[in-house]
Structures are given as C-alpha cells and as structure tokens.
Structure 1
C-alpha cells in the first residue's frame, strides 16, 4: 500500500477480521480481489456478506481463485447464490459475479438470509461486527442507471439535505450546485495562495472533515483538471454523516475517529485540508489530532485550516511547537469576518 500511495494512487490498510469496513452501504461499483488471501466463503461467508453490503446494486465482484481448489470454488458459488448474485463470467481461475439489478430474486429468496429488523442499519459501519446477512432489497439506482462522470458530482442519489444554515434545510439540485460553487470559490482562493509551483508538488490530498465532499468535488470539476486525488474523511463523532452522499458523487471516503490513528503509513499526504474540524466535540485534545495530522503529512507538505480565529490561534500554537511554517489570512468574509484560513507547511524538523 505504501508503494501505491507513493505512486500517487488511492490506498488504505484496513482490518477485515471482525468488524465492518468503514464505508457506507452500496458504496462501490466494482470490488476486485485478485490473488488475494481473503477467505470469502468461510465462517458463514461473513466477508462475502460484507462485500455485498458495500457493493452497489448491479455492481461487479471480481475474484481470482489462485489456489485452484474446487471446494473453495463450490463454497463461493453456494454463498453467492444465497445472496442472489449472478455468475456473469468464469474463465480459468477468474470469476465475475454481478449483484442483481432488480429485486425480483430477493422477493423469492429464503428470508433466513435477510438481517433481523433490529440489526444495525447498513450504513452504520464504525465498530459494527460483521453479519452473515443482507439488509434486503436495494432502494438505490443500479450501477448501469447512474449518471456518468463527472455529472455524478451533482447527482447524489441518497441526498436528503444539502445545506443547513440558520435552520434552512434544502433538498434541491439548486442547493447542491450552490454548495459546489461555494467550494469552487474557496478552492480558487486556496490554489492562488499555494501558487503554481506548490500545486505541481501535490498529488495525495486528505480532507479531514469532508461534509458533502464539496472540497473534493470542486477540485475534480476544475478545467484543466488537477492531478490530485482526495480521501474524504467523515468523522464518526460528527452528528452529520454524509459519507454515502460522497460515494454517490463518485468520490472516495472513509469513516474515522480522529482520536485514533488513521490506518495509513506516515508521510502519505502532500496536502491536508481541515475545514471546521475542531468545531465538533472530540473525545481527545486538539494536540492528539494535530500530532496525527503531522504524522500523515510528508515533510514539505501543506496543511490548510479553516475555522474561527480563536480556534486557529490554538492550532497555530501547536503547529509552531511542531516547527511548522504558518500564516493566517482573511477569507471571502473579509477582515471583519469570523472565519479565517491558516496556511501551513511542515518542515523537516524532528524532535
């Protein structure tokens, strides 16, 4: 994974033993397991049921049986049939299954494979044990029915509320576009502050408090396109969870508790973005979170913090202790505005 990240491609290290992966339900269009050692059909097929949870309706599961054992193949086939998966292709040691595009098979299926009504919702993933059941028929559009990229940036299928400002809650495409335009304005400001030479140094980007993914969407919709990819983090202690919307937009994301280490190698990111990360209550101090950000940021990498001036002054004091270079600037709200932006650069200093 470290080599993948250093080449500028997305990657994460995740434990896949007892708990759900930190993604919402039906997040992925395709799951690929080539020459992997995951025992998908063992232990009541817990891992395969988890793959079904995060695979979108009509999505594909590609599996390579490198062992060549027929029993392993038969166990996989039995488990896949129980979940209504369709064997689309099998050649040599590679098989491709497709999750159903409609609910007809589920309606005929034995209900013993469905989760109990009291089971955790499929979108709840943080700290939830793996379950040998499926949540039932999908209510989302199949993969083949989704809009193509980059139109998906404005078409989140699970969108409920777009903006929440002064108790104003809208669920319209217009509000979604307004949110994107707002982040386009902010990213223009960020990029101008960074400058062309620094922009060329950046590839791996971490958004620590992604919201609806507006920051990543604004970057992805730029013309000419940037060669950046963004990992959108939805903090688990934030009551507003929109990671499902982020995936529906065609972006990447993960649930995470910032009081714990993100399962990434040190120095994985060139740029860290933190907009109002510290506005929410965390079960640890600001020092703990900033030390983790410092671990993830490469020497010479950049960090952008957007928050009220009081919070940024606290952040700056800790960043200065880490020997970062910091500058606080006004935002679009002007000198009298409450929000400010702090641009930071990590140095090569070591304690």
Structure 2
C-alpha cells in the first residue's frame, strides 16, 4: 500500500500515506492489493460493494503532490480545488457561504428566546449541499453531521475538503444512529425532495423524532404546504411550534418558502 512509518514509539506506530502515485506505479506486477480499475468511481459510496483495490490519485492531485487545501481554519471558508468537479466557480461558493450565513443568523434570531450558548451541541444538516450551513456555525460551540442525499451531486468530498464531517444517505430509509442523538435537525427542502421520490413524509417525521433529543429543535425550510403537513402531526409527536417566518432573502427560490421551528417536548409533560 506504499505506506511508510512516520513515527514509532514502543507499541505505537504512525503511518503516512504517499502524496503521489509514483510508488504505486513502481510496484511489481501482481502486487496485492491491486489498483482499482480506471473506470472505478471513487466517489460512489451508496450501496456499493467494497473491493480490495487501491484508488490512485487523480492526475490533478498527483501533479500537485497533495490536495492543495488551505490550512485549517482557512480551509473552512476557502474554495476547495475539487469545486471544479461540479463546475462550480469560486463566486458560486462564496455566494453560497454568504446566503447560508444570513440564513443561520436568522435561524438563531428565531430560536433566541429558547436557546442559550450551551443549549445545542449535536447538530445535523439533513441536506448539506456544500456544507455552508455548518461553516456558518463556526463561531458556535456545536459540531455538525452533514448528510448528502444519495441521488444528488455527491458533494461529500467538498464537505471533507472544508474540514467538516459527513455522510451520504437516503432519507427514504432510517439513519444509522442511536435514538435521541441530536439537539438540532436542519431540513432544507427535504420534505419536498422525498415527496418527489414517492417516499413517506410521515415516515421521515417519525425518523426525525426518533433521533431528536427531548427539548431538541427542528428547523424546516420548505414550501408552505410542507409546514401545513407537519402541523397535522405536531400533537401526536409531542412537538410544539417555537417560531414561524417567511424565508428571508427575497430571491426567486425563496418564493412560497417558510421557515418553521418546532421543539420536541418531554413526553411526560403531555401526560400531567
């Protein structure tokens, strides 16, 4: 695998991976594990069987002898080199950051009567796109699980390039996590998306309730009819509306879009 020992002390060994394909190309014929086929897609991660092969670097990374990423924390807000894989310009990236910073500031204003600096810790962005929602929270004491839909642009590598964490998932299925894990769930057009897939919005609500902690919050940014749909199940879920607002920004994509913030009650409160 062309790994080399970077440091060793007693029973602890740190290995380092090569920066280029040179070592792979110099291996003797028949060396195992072999290199992956040239038509193998290293970004295909959903329902893909594991193969015992090594993915070589792209020509760009091989020539650059590394990822070309800015050092942390600048990489969080710097356009990553692989942005071009999606034909996104630096201007698109910077505009996305600006928009999500405005939206996050608006969210916090809506939630401010209910949250303190230590109220939220575990946050999930259920449709993360480029990860700008998480980046906009850089000054908050939270960590964010970024979830990229399995059927959209696989922007997970952009999220990792920004120094964030994430995964690929289909919200037509359950998410692999413990119950009552997250303090805040952010659902941007998620209900509209799964409706187009023919999946159940009720099932999604139940799954969100499962992974949301008591007294946790949901931020739904979607069409007004989605908010009306969620309202029908609030009592059954023991959720309580905290805030509702029209989507800010005034852009065409925000027409007929609302921001809706429910809070999950402690179940026993309903039974007193």
TM-score category, normalised to shorter length: 0.7 to 0.9
Query: Counterpart of 2:226?
Result: 311
**Match among 72, 82, 97 for residue 149 of structure 1:** 72
Query: Counterpart of 2:56?
Result: 136
Query: Counterpart of 1:241?
Result: 154
When normalised by structure 1's length, the TM-score is 0.67
Query: What CA deviation, in whole Å up to 9, does each residue of 1:4-28 have, x standing for no partner?
Result: xxxxxxxxxxxxxxxxxxxxxxxxx
Superposition CA RMSD, Å? 2.3
Q: How do 1:1-351 and structure 2 match up within 5 A?
A: 83-110=1-28, 112=30, 113-119=34-40, 121-138=41-58, 139-140=60-61, 145-153=68-76, 154-160=78-84, 171-195=88-112, 198-200=115-117, 201-220=119-138, 225-236=139-150, 238-280=151-193, 281-282=196-197, 284-326=199-241, 327-333=243-249, 337-349=255-267
Q: Secondary structure at the match of 1:174?
A: helix
When normalised by structure 2's length, the TM-score is 0.85
- Give ranges in structure 2 of 5+ residues lacking alignment: none
Deviation at 1:349, TM superposition (A): 2.1
Q: Distance in 1 between matches of 2:65 and 2:114?
A: 42
Q: Number of residues paired by the alignment?
A: 255
Q: Secondary structure at the match of 2:2?
A: coil
Is contact 1:333–1:339 with CA below 8 Å preserved after alignment?
no
Q: Secondary structure at the match of 2:225?
A: helix
- Give ranges in structure 1 of 5+ residues lacking alignment: 1-82, 163-169
Distance 1:97 1:244, change over 3 A: same
Is contact 1:207–1:231 with CA below 8 Å preserved after alignment?
yes
Q: Distance in 1 between matches of 2:20 and 2:167?
A: 27
Distance 1:89 1:303, change over 3 A: same
Is contact 1:266–1:295 with CA below 8 Å preserved after alignment?
yes
Q: Distance in 2 between matches of 1:143 and 1:204?
A: 32
Distance 1:172 1:116, change over 3 A: closer
